[in-house]
Amino acid sequence: MASSYLGLKEGAGASNNAKVVELYALAGHPEVKQDAVAWCAAFVGAVLAKSKLETTGSLWALDYAKWGQKLDRPFYGCVGVKKRDGGGHVGFVIGANKTQIILLGGNQGDAVSVAAFPRENFVAFRWPSEIKIPIEPVPLPTTVAGARSNVAEA
């Protein structure tokens, strides 16, 4: 579901991409009409809502650090929450190695993209409450083709 949004970008200049604005509505915030508002949590919330899963109902990324079930380590498809200057960032984990976590997320370089972030910045890995935590999770790839580093997430 999340991967179907890959490549979705903010509108150029003052224009707004209606599909990005729609993410806010799907995440429970139809009042947001501009795509320049930080939208990583809107992306995660929209994907979860479309999957009929509970969301935080919040546009604050760090609120996902208390959402769902706590994981002791990243699992494929889990929600990864990281800290950054001025707040946080959230996305879906699709890879990991000793130094990086690879997220499929929104507002990564103003687009839905695949990006790698320093592992030490992550504060939580979470799993939906409605789904039993797998005993043997899908192994995480240590690299993902096309994953970018040093991507702005604000």
Within 13 Å and on the Cβ side, how many CA atoms surround 135?
A: 0
pLDDT digits over 84-107, tens only? Answer: 988 999 999 999 999 999 999 999
Chain centroid to CA 99: how far? 19
14 to 11, 111, 119, 152: CA distances (angstroms): 7, 16, 34, 19
Q: Domains in the chain, start-ordered, CATH in brackets?
A: 2-144 (3.90.1720)
pTM given for the model: 0.94
Chain centroid to CA 15: how far? 23
pLDDT digits over 141-153, tens only? Answer: 888 877 777 777 6
